């Protein structure tokens, strides 16, 4: 999953414009299915592209904000869903099948978001730069580390991390 410097700057501009706090509290992830099914889908780029949606998760002190981009790859309020912490149940952060997984229950439905753990491979970085001409950035791991340290703004109740 690619994340460019331009995309991160665009996200930060949107968050500032909307007065949403920014401090390494966001990450780009794929919304998917239960971990066992995701393990099958994740090995095929074509299946991932067809079946998974890209979301930007922003964790604030009182909400989790789910953002997608419109067809012009822009962030808008139309593509924003803010979920109060009180509406989130069974929040977890795990590492399975080579992916980090953020999951929780919202409105009686289990929700799963994934970030590949092998995104940082030097070979993948070089290939992306060569193919797209764009620099890939290191926000995902840095931001996940920050979010884990602050226990996802209080949502992660258990210190255990698998």
Q: How far is CA 68 from the centre of its chain?
A: 10
In whole angstroms, give the CA distance from residue 55 to residue 106.
16
Domain residue limits, the chain? 5-154
pLDDT at residue 58, as a whole number: 97
What fold characterizes domain 5-154? PH-domain like (2.30.29)
Closest CA relative to residue 58, chosen from 87, 20, 91:
20
The predicted pLDDT at position 147 comes to: 94
> Do 36 and 101 contact (CB within 8 A), yes or no?
no
The reported pLDDT for the residue numbered 99 is 82
HSE-CB for 138 with a 13 A CA cutoff: 6
State residue 122's pLDDT score: 47
Of 3-7, 12-16, 40-44, 147-151, where does mean pLDDT reach its minimum? 40-44
> Are 27 and 140 contacting, i.e. CB atoms less than 8 angstroms apart?
yes
**pLDDT value of residue 121:** 45
Q: Using CA atoms, how far apart are residues 31 and 69, in angstroms rounded to an integer?
A: 14
On the question of pLDDT at 12 being above 50, the answer is yes
- For 106-160, the pLDDT digits (tens) are 999 999 998 876 544 445 556 656 666 655 555 567 888 899 999 999 999 876 4
**pTM exceeding the 0.75 threshold for the entire prediction:** yes
Q: By C-alpha distance, which of 11, 152, 35 is closest to 100?
A: 35
Higher model confidence: residue 149 or residue 37?
Answer: 149
- Specify the 3-state DSSP secondary structure of 62: coil
């Amino acid at each position: 999953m690619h994340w460019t410097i331009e995309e991160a700057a665009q996200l930060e501009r949107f968050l500032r414009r909307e007065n949403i706090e920014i401090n390494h509290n966001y990450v780009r992830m794929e919304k998917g299915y239960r971990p066992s099914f995701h393990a099958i889908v994740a090995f095929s780029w074509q299946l991932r592209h067809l079946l998974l949606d890209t979301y930007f998760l922003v964790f604030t002190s009182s909400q989790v904000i789910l953002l997608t981009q419109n067809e012009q790859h822009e962030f808008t309020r139309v593509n924003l869903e803010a979920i109060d912490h009180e509406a989130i149940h069974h929040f977890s952060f795990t590492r399975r099948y080579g992916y980090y997984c953020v999951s929780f229950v919202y409105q009686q439905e289990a929700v799963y978001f994934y970030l590949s753990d092998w995104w940082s491979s030097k070979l993948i970085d070089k290939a992306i730069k060569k193919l797209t001409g764009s620099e890939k950035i290191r926000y995902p791991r840095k931001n996940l580390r920050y979010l884990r340290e602050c226990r996802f703004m209080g949502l992660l109740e258990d210190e255990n991390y698998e």
